[in-house]
Amino acid sequence: MTLRHVVESQQFTVPLLMELFDRSRLMERIVARGGTLDYQNRILASLFYQPSTRTRFSFEAAMHRLGGRVLSTEHARAFSSEIEEEQVEDSIRIIGSYCDVIVIRHHEPGGAARAARVSPVPIINAGDGDGGQHPTQALLDLYTIYRERPLDGLSVAFIGELDRGRTARSLAYLLAKFERVKIFFVSPPEQQMRSDILQYLDRHGVRYELESDIDRVVGEADVIYQTRVRPGRPPRVAGAQRYAINSSVLQRMKPDAMIMHPLPRTVELDKTVDDDPRALYFRQAANGLYVRMALLTMLLE
């Protein structure tokens, strides 16, 4: 079971996911006891055409915790001429001759796949455009759920701007690999999950429902996966509260529900939720470290 590049979440089979999760638990234990691994001669390059401090730090910390080294760009796009922007393939071929693995965040869907096509070293997609993917986010999301309960038979509600959210798209692909999963997509009708994902779920026999009313779903789901609302995008400015998670929504959730969010958040997830034991989003972010460490060990061996 070798892994060459990580471009889309659907490329992971269930056995590969289980190997990744086994390794992730091992990484948790190694970090907890302040240990490291022997990757001291290996270099990770993070090539972020769009800035994302949290995601970048998560990958770079993972490489450091393995004992490795890091080359870093914070905002390659702002800092490149028009020329360079058009030549992601040339950049990857060159940077690939300096390092052992490249983490790329590109501003266009398909950017990571273009990189993978020419790269001499493994490519990890750290997000490629609105409507693209963010597979390692989906992997850490799934790992967070897996640490709490069986994945077969799970019911998951995705809430928010689902037409543009990378995280919901990538995680939906992964959930389709498990048995008896039920998905609720909760969103204003004009921001519902796109048909490519729905058709994928149909082909894989996954049950799903499209909803516009959060109240009809919130008491039924094992996982409430809230997603980011972009300020200024209509009609959310007025209607954002309709989809927000706050103390009144909390009361209607299952007692053992899991509240997740890829962060950063805005009005859609109230800070009063933070103290609820069902709020898992900070643990979810912390798990990113272990899953990315595990993934790097699989790509670098």
Report the residue number, 47 or 171, with the smaller CB distance to a copy of itself.
Answer: 47
As to burial, measured by CB atoms within 10 angstroms (0-12 exposed, 13-18 middle, 19+ buried), residue 86 is exposed
Residue 204 CA: distances (Å) to CA of 10, 174, 177 = 12, 11, 8
Binders of a copy of itself: how many residues, by CB under 8 A? 52
Do residues 180 and 150 lie in contact, with contact meaning Cβ atoms separated by under 8 Å?
Answer: no
Report the residue number, 95 or 253, with the smaller CB distance to a copy of itself.
Answer: 95
3-state secondary structure (DSSP) of residue 292: helix
Question: Is 32 one of the binding residues for a copy of itself (CB under 8 A)?
Answer: no
Residue 225 CA: distances (Å) to CA of 171, 228, 258 = 10, 10, 8
For residues 168, 132, 294, 122, the Cα torsion angle rounded to the nearest 10 degrees is 170
Residue list 218-247, contact with a copy of itself (CB under 8 A): 228, 230-231
Question: Is 69 one of the binding residues for a copy of itself (CB under 8 A)?
Answer: yes
Question: Is 24 one of the binding residues for a copy of itself (CB under 8 A)?
Answer: no
Question: Is 34 one of the binding residues for a copy of itself (CB under 8 A)?
Answer: yes
Considering only 235, 239, 264, 272, the residue that binds a copy of itself (CB under 8 A) is: 264
| Rounded-to-integer distance, Cα 259 and Cα 222, Å | 9
| Residue 274: CB minimum distance to a copy of itself, A | 9
| Residue 206: CB minimum distance to a copy of itself, A | 30
Bridge partners of 6, per DSSP, are: 124
Give the interface segment with a copy of itself, choosing from 11-19, 32-40, 139-147, 178-186 (CB under 8 A). 32-40
| Residue 38: CB minimum distance to a copy of itself, A | 11
Considering only 263, 276, 298, 300, the residue that binds a copy of itself (CB under 8 A) is: 263
Residue list 81-100, contact with a copy of itself (CB under 8 A): 81-84, 86-87, 90-91, 93-95, 97-99
Question: Is 199 one of the binding residues for a copy of itself (CB under 8 A)?
Answer: no
Report the residue number, 221 or 285, with the smaller CB distance to a copy of itself.
Answer: 285
Angle of CA points 91, 93, 96, to nearest 5°? 100
DSSP line for 71-84: EEES-TTTTS-HHH
| Residue 228: CB minimum distance to a copy of itself, A | 7
| Rounded-to-integer distance, Cα 131 and Cα 108, Å | 9
| Rounded-to-integer distance, Cα 156 and Cα 222, Å | 6
Site residues (vs a copy of itself, CB under 8 A): 34-36, 40-41, 43, 45, 47, 51, 53-54, 57-58, 60-61, 64-65, 69, 71-76, 78-84, 86-87, 90-91, 93-95, 97-99, 228, 230-231, 263-266, 282, 285-286, 289
